[in-house]
Structure 1
Amino acid sequence: MKDPVSIRLIKESDFPELLEIENTIWNTRNSPVLHYYESVDEYKEKIQGRLIFVAADEDNVHGFVDVHHPTPLLSHKKQWMLGIGVHPDSQSLGIGRKLLDYVKDEAAKEGIRKIALRVMGPNTRAIQFYRKNGFVQEALFKDEFFINGAFCDDYQFAYFIE
């Protein structure tokens, strides 16, 4: 039986559902900046120029992964930074793993050596998820953020393409 959820490049028709995901998933446990977009046009402007893959079936967009080089330096062209989000109703269904597997494959095809991401300390589910999917901790940024009256650590994780 064919899996109804597939990974593909973003389409303009995905924007309203991606806007809903962005406006739903971010909070002070997983982002130092609360993402909220008033309109599809505002969201469209934010993602302009980004390489975004979506996990979707015939009816819904379930999640996304956004990849970009960490800086415009030529010496960073073999590395991607990623951001990933899965709609709360679609979490724990393997969507995130499927998105990461797809990005790993695309990175290998593009000659990318390293995929990196940042994750906040209170987001223990995400930390466990990244470790389970082959990411290793590269850095700890102690007391990186001051949110709601408390300091918060931030971690950098990476996956290396062999």
Structure 2
Amino acid sequence: MSDIEIRGAVASDDRALAELDRRTWSPVHAVMPEPAPGTPFFDAAHPVDEVLVAERGGRIVGYVRLARAYGDLACAEHVRQIRGLAVAPDERRRGVARALVDAACARAAREGARRVALRVLGGNTAARRLYESAGFTVEGVLPGEFFLDGRYVDDVLMGRSLP
């Protein structure tokens, strides 16, 4: 794991992140349609400053998107939300996802946040185990919230306090 570098994304990461997003898309974890080839990763709704990337040997192998949970709403500026996490298939089970989650929580704390929240699909047991191992707990479940790949899927709300 020590050969993984976590850093803030830069605009020139767009193509590599868009390709990673397409390679890792699955109805097991995504509610949005599969990204089309050529779709940029960054746009007005998904700015570069919300993304941390993981690199190994100069290659982007994962990312996490961390945003203010409620935009500029002053009464909730202490809450951040993980809005996306992906790891290259050949890098899974090597500590990349955990390093990204830990880095996102550390960044949120540096920004003055007191809590981090996220949403994960009920059937995504690998992600749920990852988040639980990083201190997140289930705070609610929206049963059958999404109809994906021919079935209804729960939306699981998770969160954790920051020191």
Q: TM-score, normalised by structure 1?
A: 0.90
Q: Which residue of 1 aligns with 2:78?
A: 78
> What CA deviation, in whole Å up to 9, does each residue of 1:10-62 have, x standing for no partner?
0233222211111011211111112414326x323253364111011333001
* Counterpart code for 1:64: Y
Q: Which residue of 2 aligns with 1:23?
A: 22
User: Where does structure 2 lack aligned partners over 5 or more consecutive residues?
Assistant: none
The CA distance in 2 between the partners of 1:116 and 1:48, in whole Å, is 19
* Counterpart code for 2:136: F
Q: Is the alpha carbon distance of 1:148 and 1:57 closer, same or farther for their aligned partners in structure 2, counting shifts above 3 Å?
A: closer
Q: Which residue of 2 aligns with 1:159?
A: 160
Identical-residue share of aligned pairs (%): 27
Q: Which residue of 1 aligns with 2:42?
A: 44
Q: Is the alpha carbon distance of 1:75 and 1:36 closer, same or farther for their aligned partners in structure 2, counting shifts above 3 Å?
A: same
The CA distance in 2 between the partners of 1:4 and 1:43, in whole Å, is 25
- How many residues align? The count is 160
The CA distance in 2 between the partners of 1:105 and 1:81, in whole Å, is 13
Q: Which residue of 1 aligns with 2:110?
A: 109
Using the TM superposition, give the Cα deviation of residue 145 of structure 1 relative to its aligned residue in structure 2, in angstroms. Answer: 0.8
Q: Which residue of 2 aligns with 1:98?
A: 99
Q: TM-score, normalised by structure 2?
A: 0.89
Corresponding residue SS for 2:41 = helix
2:32 maps to 1:33: yes
- Cα RMSD (Å): 1.8
Using the TM superposition, give the Cα deviation of residue 116 of structure 1 relative to its aligned residue in structure 2, in angstroms. Answer: 0.7
| C-alpha contact 1:27 1:34 (8 A) present in aligned 2 | no
